[in-house]
Structure 1
């Protein structure tokens, strides 16, 4: 695969590392915006597997997926929550709620709020990308990079050359280490997640069946822990995530979990949650890891660009990790479609970073703050939080402690349009560049 750009031909050879949600997003965004450029996605796994659990795709990402032609397919496999409920951990007291939540999100932000199994979303994006002519190479494990050329060197000795490498290889990004010149492993956050998926037909208890009869999001907030439930696949599957203090050994990122240990942690929690957990037959523990955001999202040669967890990981407490990666892909794809000559690539990558970095930094900080609100210990501050929530149960106000419901936070996160922002940013760059070249501009 050799470099295909010359003075008369503006077709770039773009190689995306990783067929996760961010990698698929940038491929879809670029191909939707232009038929130019050769796009190849390298994936280390032999095939896409049905692994993972639930995701919440919020309107800021859903609107992009719909534009890329995925709306009809995703409507078949997603669930739109009718209500969002927040409870006190110990007795199930309702602290906050929004009725008609899915309909409200659609009306306010022009796109749905979807609960979806990660595998369903990934496979839908992959199939759409294939239909658009994007090339995929599986079992393509990158051993190292030459980012000046640039090229990816595969296990076994093969080489993949490109004009631009897009690193969408996640939290443990090898491409990141190559650019920085050293290996820095992610660090533990102090939390771990129990991730649970149940089939709805496993639920027999009449009380639990009534509780789950409508597609709803249920969140229990408690000391140092929280639990969240939402349905998948048109309310036929139950997704439960339990966030608790990390007790895994230092070098263990994932391990089989003890059901008895899990139940003991939540022994004094809402009885309805305990009934749900009684249905669990096996569970894994996932250490939540983090690393600092990269200062630069591309290199001095403008031969590599980063997106998603490879450059700005974020904690899951606002459910924006996947959504933010999809936004990154959309913005980068739109900007790359603007390319008229290879010399513009450095400017495009700088505009991309200037557009995306402040937002990703702010969302990451807000996610840390949401973690704090979720896990408040019993005491004076928790009582203030609960009283504020209950006083605003009919109409939450800006500053509401749970960001899914806070109207100001909703507008900022869910109302964002990465496509529009990318077009606007590039137009501004061109206008500013033109003004700088006008006679007398430097006087």
Structure 2
């Protein structure tokens, strides 16, 4: 094909693998470079929302995820144990509204399903390939298109590509290369205690029954909140405790203290504190973010950033992974024939990608900070007003703005109703109409 590109994707996380699948489906030669020696992505649970699951279904990936669990209910509970919001048939309602599921799974299970599909499509996934430098003008390029990019590897090798996709996450080498300076992420002021409990660790029968139910639960309180849900068919329970950051600036992740963790939630809902007594190991993660960039594309139009390299998010709306999957899909769809026909179109195609994705990614970033504020209110007048609003709609269909964006009738459709394929079709149709 005259339009075929040699695409190198740096990073085998969720955004990189999503991009590799859609770019391969669009007819390009795709290689993924991953610095890790093995694909066992660090992390725990992951919430997949319809804006991503409709893509995973289309790609044949969702069907291969091990034990995705669709929560039947979604609840918000005050730190004192009072039920503030509750939605029954959450799974059914989501499918009815958006035509795709909301599912909880383990991050590693999703990554493995993505890798499997990418390899089926001919994508090369190369491990232990750490990128240390990019030369954006390594070659003249063909058809008077953008120049080739040369990638320098830690082991001394080099690889050339027509297009680099920087999907190398929060600590992105590609971002620093694009900016021309070493660019480190910034602390958000929060950290996460991440817990994965096997059902065998929970001895109390009542608590075990609760944990096995397919449900999403939030506990919200002063300066902190907790999200918990079952995975792998109820055999594993994922718990994330979100609290103020007290880690040294130089520490991004460390093993957490069980005593410290339990002390932070002393006096909270007894159901939660009983659950925390079952924990025998916890990891402590500093939550980081980055300022917005003027552009996600380099001056030569041969490198583009996606995912956490350009729009990392607080986990408070579970959109970091989901929006990264959107990025990969949109990029690959824009590079598909017949609308993409030659390398000379690469600059305008990447600009279209940025027009479609940058404003949305940055808006979701901002919304995560708003969710933090609404969930972390200290006791007082604002907290009482929030709780009164919650209670006004308890057991009813919510109308208008709502403190939990997970069920907010204004924010939820904006997040979950996004259809990458339709968005691309719409922007291309509009472009074709221009004289």
Q: Do they superpose with TM above 0.5? A: yes
TM-score (norm 1): 0.93
User: Does the CA-based 8 Å contact 2:50-2:416 persist in structure 1?
Assistant: yes
| Greater mean deviation of Cα atoms: 209-218 or 162-171 | 209-218
TM-score under structure 2 length normalisation? 0.95
Q: Distance in 2 between matches of 1:213 and 1:145?
A: 48
Q: Distance in 1 between matches of 2:235 and 2:408?
A: 29
Q: Which residue of 1 aligns with 2:11?
A: 18
Q: What whole-Å deviation, never above 9, does each CA across 1:164-183 have from its counterpart, x for those lacking one?
A: 00000011110110110101
3-state DSSP class of the match of 1:15?
A: strand
Moved more, 144-153 or 166-175: 144-153
Equivalent pairs, count: 422
1:403 aligns with 2:405: yes
Unaligned runs of 5+ in 2: 139-148
Paired residue secondary structure (2:97): helix
Match of 2:114 among 116, 125, 129: 125
CA distance in structure 1 between the aligned counterparts of 2:188 and 2:299, rounded to whole angstroms:
31
- Output aligned runs, 1:200-349, within 5 Å: 200-337=199-336, 338-349=339-350
Q: Match for residue 74 of structure 2?
A: 84
Q: Distance between the aligned counterparts of 1:365 and 1:201, measured in 2?
A: 39
Which residue of 24, 31, 35 corresponds with 1:31?
24
Whether the 8 Å CA contact 2:201–2:278 is kept in 1: the answer is yes
Match of 1:103 in 2: 92
**Displacement of 1:207:** 2.7
Query: How far apart in 1 are the matches of 2:235 and 2:212?
Result: 11
1:315 deviation in Å?
1.2
- Root-mean-square deviation over aligned CA pairs: 1.1
Q: Which runs of 5 or more residues in structure 1 are unaligned?
A: 1-7, 436-443
Aligned to 1:360: 361
CA distance in 2, matches of 1:13, 1:166: 11
Alpha-carbon distance in 1 for matches of 2:291, 2:95: 34
Would you say the 8 A contact 1:389–1:396 is kept in 2? no
The answer to whether the Cα contact below 8 Å between 1:148 and 1:303 also exists between their aligned partners in 2 is no
Deviations 1:123-178 (A, max 9, x none): 00001111111111111000111122311100121001000000000111101101
Q: Per the alignment, do residues 300 and 50 of structure 1 end up closer, same or farther by CA in structure 2, a change over 3 Å counting?
A: closer
Residues 386-405 of structure 1: CA deviation (Å, up to 9, x unaligned): 01011011111220110011
Q: CA deviation at 1:213?
A: 4.1
Task: Say if 2:175 and 2:183, in contact at 8 Å, map to a contact too.
Answer: no
What residue is the counterpart of 1:3 in the other structure?
none
